[in-house]
Amino acid sequence: MVLQASNYFIMAQRETLVHLFAGGCGGTAGAILTCPLEVVKTRLQSSGVTFRPIYFPQVHLQTINGGSFVRSTPLSPGLLQILKTILEKEGARSLFRGLGPNLVGVAPSRAIYFASYSGAKEHFNTIFEPESKKVHICSAAFAGFSSITATNPIWLVKTRLQLEAKERGQKKMNAVQCVKRVYQMQGFRGFYRGMTASYAGISETIIHFVIYEALKQRLRQERYLTPPGTTHVNQDSWDFLGLMVSAGISKTCASCVAYPHEVIRTRLREEGTKYTSFLRTVRLVAKEEGYTAFYRGLMAQLIRQIPNTATMMVTYELILYMAERV
């Protein structure tokens, strides 16, 4: 009896470590692949981008006495405009601003997330109907809360670095300098700015995993869709393709529904702005820029999220698949 309990504990511990490793690897692979789009998306979400003349065409207006003055058109820039400006003014390396903190944060963040999700799902399966939507919703919410609380300071530093726009030759702040600056200006609490918006973003996580789990279950039920006569290896490849498509569809749906929280979060993480709380930010953005501002950068997000999520989820599932056969 004692031996059985000991074996169960060892197996449970091994499974947790496998989920931690798989989640970390999946998150790292996705972050490296899509970092440039992450930078573009963050710039589009910020308030400062609207007031940076380099991003907009300039209009020369004639005065009464024949002189002229220059006015920048107050239009929101597009994805390609931001991308072009970063390349021209700041250089290609700026498209990977914040990658350091991203890599430092994404592995533990995704590892905590997937391990929490797996553990919570196992627990909630004993309370609710196994593998039901209630189980997936509660598990995703718990995993999101755990991950956000643990890693918010890393994401704040990443956002600050991505928002820093300096031309070629100008010295750019590194992660260590950013940490010191945040602490000097706002203290320890400054590292947790934007966390309320991140908590609101748990809704995106819930939607994503509910749809993903539903599609995954459907794939299992419809295994006969695998082309007849395929070998075991080809069948596994077909299954992973299905998981990749499922991850892309579920994340796209979730991003479209819950995207405004990302804009609010970026505004809250900006340095020295008027955005001091979640509700105040919602009111200010709606009043000053209109409700469409809550979807600035959505196109960059969708283009980024599909390959990012697909890469992350398939890497995660692949490592779990390989671990089961060791």
d(CA 118, CA 228): 33
pTM of the full predicted structure?
0.70
Alpha carbon distance 204, 197 (integer Å): 11
State in Å, rounded, how far the first CA of the chain is from the last one.
26
Q: 50: which DSSP letter?
A: G
The reported pLDDT for the residue numbered 72 is 41
Beta-carbon contacts of 315 under 8 Å, excluding residues fewer than 6 positions away, are: 22, 25, 26, 29, 30
Q: What is the pLDDT of residue 118?
A: 85
Nearest Cα to 158, choosing from 193, 119, 186?
193
Domains annotated for the chain, with CATH where assigned, are: 2-48+78-324 (1.50.40.10)
- Share of the chain residues as helix, strand and coil, in percent rounded to the nearest 5: 75, 5, 20
pLDDT at 181: 93
Q: Which helix (H) or strand (E) holds 70?
A: strand 68-72
* N residues, the chain: 326
Show the tokens assigned to 184.
């000097």
Helix extents (H) in 259-293: 260-269, 278-289
Say how far apart CA 72 and CA 61 lie, in whole Å. 11
Tens-digit pLDDT string for the chain (326 aa): 544 545 544 556 667 677 767 777 777 777 777 888 888 888 888 877 654 444 444 444 344 444 444 444 445 567 788 888 888 888 888 888 888 887 777 777 877 888 888 889 989 999 988 888 888 889 989 998 999 998 999 999 999 988 887 777 678 888 899 999 999 998 999 999 999 999 998 988 888 888 888 888 888 776 644 544 454 445 566 677 777 788 778 888 988 899 999 999 999 998 877 898 999 999 999 999 999 999 998 888 888 877 777 777 777 777 777 777 76
CB atoms within 10 A of CB 244: 18
